[in-house]
Structure 1
Amino acid sequence: MSNQSNVILFVVNAPEFFLSHRFPLAVAAKKSGYEVHVATAEGPDIERIQAQGFIHHVVPFARSGQNPLNELGTLLCLTKLFRRVKPSLVHLITIKPVLYGGIAARLAGVKSVVSAVSGLGTVFLAESAAARLRRWLVTVMYRSAFKQSHLAVIFQNPDDRDALLTLKALMPEQARMIRGSGVTLSDYSYVPEPEGKPVVVMAARLLKDKGVFEFVEAARLLKQRGVSVEMRMIGSPDPGNPTSVNQQELDQWAAEGQVEFLGYRKDIAEQYAAANIVCLPSYREGLPKSLVEAAASGRIVVTTDVPGCRDAIIPDKTGLLVPVKNAVALADVIETLIDSPDLRKRMGQAGRALAEDAFAIEKIVEQHMDIYQELLKP
């Protein structure tokens, strides 16, 4: 099949997310002969996207999305962009691009749509009356966005897929399963654990929903028990997110001294190599990249028994699950692992094998390219 006339347009809210989660896929598409366009909000990484020969378009994705007029403006901007570029296929990534981009694709007559649902977000967790209203509205939007004749909806875990199937937002034959965004294995070499005081590291945006408070509380409990451990947190607050940790909380935790806050880091491979245990006590995920990277690094994982997190490990083989929002259980499991170096080593090696088998970027890219070719068949 000749791909020369095919134009793929990736739509993602932030340029840095495109680079961290979908960049290898766009490179592979370009190598296969597709003309690659990328639409994101403004950001400092746009030049890096353009430097790869991708054509970039700015779309005004607002972080919080509380202003209906702004949201309508984003939808209209996407519709105009699709009509102008006339893509053979749009690949919509993260919640707003999937919802608005799906509706815009229908309005603009885009032939083929790939929607990547990388987690259903906190709207499917909250139980307040306002949250239930938002959930109803989002469900209506999903149903509208998924009314396409040539559509594939990629899920990272079965819970998110089953939730949207139950809501009758899409047909079963439209659903696909790809486990996460993949990892470049050569970037995360498996090295033996460091000697000395055990290190537990958590890498995530500093949001309540990521389990930051439970991680800090577990650190307090371990100190009270006299357990010798160094707890490290990698990541920065996200002011546009209503569940973000605020500066006052950060200052208080820093003063307590139980957790070392390293801020935003790009050297995750080195940070994991310097750790003994990787932890993510999140409330819900698509399939967390941090745990895929932990597996590639050969590090045992402690995470919560929730959608996405449990799908990133083989329970009791590459990592251990704890109940969500339970700092005591988290501290208990960390303490057990600190006393079990052989178990950590065995599970870390099994994690590396899992990464090679399921998460290698080449396999993830190949699965996406197969979907593109299937949808673009004449």
Structure 2
Amino acid sequence: MNAEKSRLRIALVCNTAWAIYTYRRGLLRMLIERGVDVSVIAPRDRTFAPLEAMGCRCVELPVASKGTNPRDDLKTLAALVREYRATRPHMVFHYTIKPNIYGSIAAKLAGVPSIAVTTGLGYVFIQKSRTASVAKRLYRFAFRFPREVWFLNQDDRQAFIDQDLLVHPERARLLHGEGVDLGDYAFQPLPRANPQTEGFFFILIGRLLWDKGVAEYVDAARRLREKYPYARFQLLGPVGVDNPSAITLDEVQAWQREGVIDYLGEAQDVRAFIGNADCVVLPSYREGVPRTLMEASAMGRPIVATDVPGCREVVENGVTGLLCDVKSADSLAQQLERLLLSSYEARADMGVAGRAKVAREFDENAVVDRYKGTIRAVTGVSL
């Protein structure tokens, strides 16, 4: 390893360290193996310890993800400016809305090159509110500074261009998802051939947010449980998270008492839960490219998801799963029922097609190569 490479300093900034650890571990491994000094800058959570064990330097960052108080956001901005001036990273990657906005500004103030990665447009493009309007103006100001702005799907990129949120539209790039490790998420045959006797398990995996379509999922579960008592509807993911759309534990427990939902808590490793499922469901209102669906398809699970940006990138309707109308419990229930009543062979074929699509379009190795190329272009260092 040459001296220049060993001195290369790269920072990744996000509103949760968990997302860096969960979604970008392949990137982190590559950087660390090549002698790069990697800093993860995010609010402290349980993944600081495994990140540090990998060889990352973890820096606690104040981020009020749910808040709209300018003082809190200025604290985020000031903390990042101090960090960048003190450590002089050669390059910074920002993820999620507040790090994207305030991190891009901080990097400009500190004279540090940065890349903004829009992992999904979320409530800013779902809601029509004053907060969303302010966020768009902040995006437009901040996104004049990064060297490039990466989008995970074409719809999100086009939305920014159409709404004139990019002062330099030529800097917009399409990443097409963050990728999935095909070795970690190995194909598994469907677990049950006879739903009536063995049960049929649907699962929704992710942060429990209203914007993920959880209300529609619960409503569809109510209807289908009456007709098909052997159908089970599971939820896996954290409740009460720091997000304007968060669902509370009390709400989830009420659904459990009603006998509609099985809440499984949260897990760092979701593979066993995907492996036990007959179908993975995500009725989200909007996504970047959802990691859960890539992982489910990689493991050979048919999917039911909404026909929205992000989800339709992963799901080929009628081939790897089924798409339903957004914010429609009726449409979701119809597609869940259709999958429930389909033959084992038809569902297995969807799983095989899903694995092939992920291998073709979402292999993590291609994403890591994209990072390598960008790092080389900005810093002059080949990894």
Q: Do they fold alike, i.e. is TM over 0.5?
A: yes
Tell me whether 31-40 or 101-110 shows the greater mean CA deviation.
31-40
In structure 2, the partner of 1:155 is: 151
Aligned to 2:361: 358
Q: 1:324 to 1:5 in 2, by over 3 A?
A: same
Aligned residue for 1:263, secondary structure, equals coil
In structure 1, what is the Cα distance between the partners aligned to 2:58 and 2:137? 30
Report the counterpart of residue 254 of structure 1 in structure 2: 256
1:148-187 → structure 2 map (5 Å cutoff)? 148=145, 151-170=147-166, 171-187=168-184
| Structure 1 residues 52-201: aligned runs within 5 Å | 52-110=54-112, 112-127=113-128, 131=129, 133-148=130-145, 151-170=147-166, 171-195=168-192, 196-201=198-203
Cα–Cα, structure 1 residues 44 and 246, in superposed 2: closer, same or farther, change >3 Å? closer
Number of aligned pairs? 372
1:113 deviates by 1.2
* Amino acid across the alignment from 2:107: A
3-state SS of 1:365 partner: helix
Are the counterparts in 2 of residues 6 and 35 from structure 1 also a CA contact under 8 Å?
yes
Asked if structure 2 preserves the Cα contact closer than 8 Å seen for 1:152 and 1:371, the reply is no
Q: Could you say what secondary structure the match of 2:5 adopts?
A: coil
- Rate the CA distance shift 1:239–1:36 in 2: closer, same or farther, 3 A: closer
Q: Which residue of 2 aligns with 1:324?
A: 326
CA distance in 1, matches of 2:327, 2:163: 27
- Measured against aligned partners, the alpha-carbon deviations of 1:111-170 in whole angstroms (never above 9, x if no partner) come to x2111100111121112xxx1x3233222222222223x612111111111111123332
**Cα offset, 1:270, TM superposition:** 1.2
For each residue in 1:303-351, what CA deviation from the matched residue of structure 2 results, as whole angstroms up to 9, or x when unmatched? 0011111112223221211001111111111111122122211111010
Q: Structure 2 regions of 5+ residues with no counterpart? A: 193-197
One-letter amino acid of the structure 1 residue matched with residue 114 of structure 2: V
Q: Residue 117 of structure 1 contacts residue 153 of structure 1 at CA under 8 Å; is this kept in 2?
A: yes
Seen in structure 2, the aligned counterparts of structure 1 residues 28 and 203 have a Cα distance that, compared at 3 Å, is same
1:332 maps to a residue whose letter is Q
Give the superposition deviation at 1:227.
Answer: 5.9
Instruction: Decide whether the 8 Å contact of 2:225 with 2:232 is kept in 1.
Output: no
Report if aligned partners of 1:16, 1:45 keep a CA contact under 8 Å in 2: yes
Aligned-partner SS, 1:3: helix
- Are the equivalent residues in 1 in contact too, given 2:300–2:352 (CA < 8 A)? yes
Comparing 246-255 and 302-311, the one that deviates more: 246-255
Please, which moves more after superposition, 349-358 or 52-61? 52-61
Identify which range, 192-201 or 219-228, moves more after superposition.
219-228
Which segment drifts farther, 333-342 or 84-93?
A: 333-342
- Larger displacement relative to structure 2 (184-193 or 203-212): 184-193
- Which secondary structure does the structure 2 equivalent of 1:185 belong to? coil
Which amino acid counterpart does residue 362 of structure 1 have in structure 2?
N
In the alignment, residue 55 of structure 1 is paired with which amino acid?
A: R
Unmatched 5+ residue regions in structure 1? none
Aligned AA for 1:300?
P
Measured after TM superposition, the shift of residue 239 of structure 1 is 4.3
Q: 1:159 is matched by which residue type in structure 2?
A: D
Q: Aligned partners of 1:315, 1:367: CA distance in 2, in Å?
A: 28
Identity of aligned residues (%): 35
TM-score for both structures, normalised by structure 1: 0.93
Paired with 1:47 and 1:92, the residues of 2 have a C-alpha distance of 21
**Deviations 1:47-78, CA, capped at 9 Å, x for gaps:** 32222222222221123223221211110111
Structure 1 CA distance, aligned partners of 2:281 and 2:370? Answer: 28
In the alignment, what sits opposite 1:284?
286
2:273 — aligned with what?
Answer: 271
Rounded Cα–Cα distance in structure 2 between residues aligned with 1:52 and 1:239: 26
SS of 1:37 mapped into structure 2: strand
CA offset at residue 193 of structure 1? 1.1
When normalised by structure 2's length, the TM-score is 0.92
Question: Which amino acid counterpart does residue 95 of structure 2 have in structure 1?
Answer: I
Mapped partners of 2:171, 2:35: distance in 1:
25
